Amino acid sequence: MIKEKTRIQTLFENKGDSEKVMSLFISAGYPDLDSTVDLILGFEKNGADLIELGMPFSDPLADGPTIQYASNTAIKNGITMDKIFGMVREIRKSSEIPLILMGYINPILKYGVDRFCEQAEKNGVDGLIIPDAPVEESSIISKKAEQHNLNLIFLVAPNSSNERMQVVDQHSNGFVYCVSVTGVTGARQGDEVAKSVEKFIHRVKTNVTKNPKLVGFGIKSYEDAQIISKEVDGFIVGSALIDTIKKVYPEEGWKDNVFSFVRRLKYGKTESQKERSL
């Protein structure tokens, strides 16, 4: 049992019924070490409700080409676990946005599970997503995560059985991550995601009843997000955000262009135009 309510849990408790939570994923240290904190603070100002900060790893399991590129760039930039905690510490000087660390179990084991969880809590992390530590193998970190007040978030996918979804719901805290399509991360074309997600989300709603539900993988626009998340609590965008950064970095004003994309993701083109006209 988590000893104190985390920022993630508070976010969902305070959310209105019709509001959609927007969670953004970015690899720590991408596109450079100095920009991560500014980007996250800017994401918050432009509509992000929750941040998933990727812990780059050289041998990822679920990452598509875009996030692999970002992770490799961050590794070349010299990202380390201590630098990631330093970024979180800087963000906490001016923001209470819920922060999740997302990555793979090997770097955590190398750093030390006890030390990792202690530093995560000390610096202001709220939760963890570790795709290669599913429920059955999560005991390697679940007890320490609980001791250090870190929500553990597990994933369900279209090929998860109903029974599997129920087990994931029982072991998750904060929310359940609904992977909209099978395969690796990456923005999809056309209506691939929308076609895949309808039956899947119907099963999720039936079997995931304890936790809020966020849907991710393949969302690249406001329109995608509204269609795909209409029956759940919100949506997650990662690859489309990193693709946007990749297109504009390091041009002059590149961060403003990225923040404009974030604003469109949350509010749509019309709302963004209204905001600019104020």
β-bridge mates for residue 102, sequence order: 54, 129
**Closest by Cα among 135, 129, 217 to 169:** 135
Are the C-beta atoms of residues 66 and 187 closer than 8 Å to each other?
A: yes
Convert 115-143 to b/e letters by CB count within 10 Å (16 or more is b): ebbebbbebbbbbbbbbebebeebeebbe
**Closest by Cα among 71, 49, 75 to 60:** 71
Taking phi over 0 as left and psi of -120 to 50 as alpha, with beta for the rest, 149 belongs to: left
Tokens of 210: 């304890």
User: Which residues are designated catalytic?
Assistant: 52, 63
Residue 216 CA to chain centroid, in angstroms? 8
Cα separations in angstroms, 195 against 51, 177, 204, 227 = 27, 18, 15, 10
Q: What is the CA radius of gyration of the chain?
A: 17
- The angle subtended at Cα 198 by Cα 193 and Cα 204, nearest 5°, is 110
Query: Which residue spans within the chain are E strands per DSSP?
Result: 21-27, 50-54, 99-102, 127-129, 151-153, 155-156, 176-179, 213-216, 234-237
Burial class (CB in 10 A: 0-12, 13-18, 19+), 203: middle
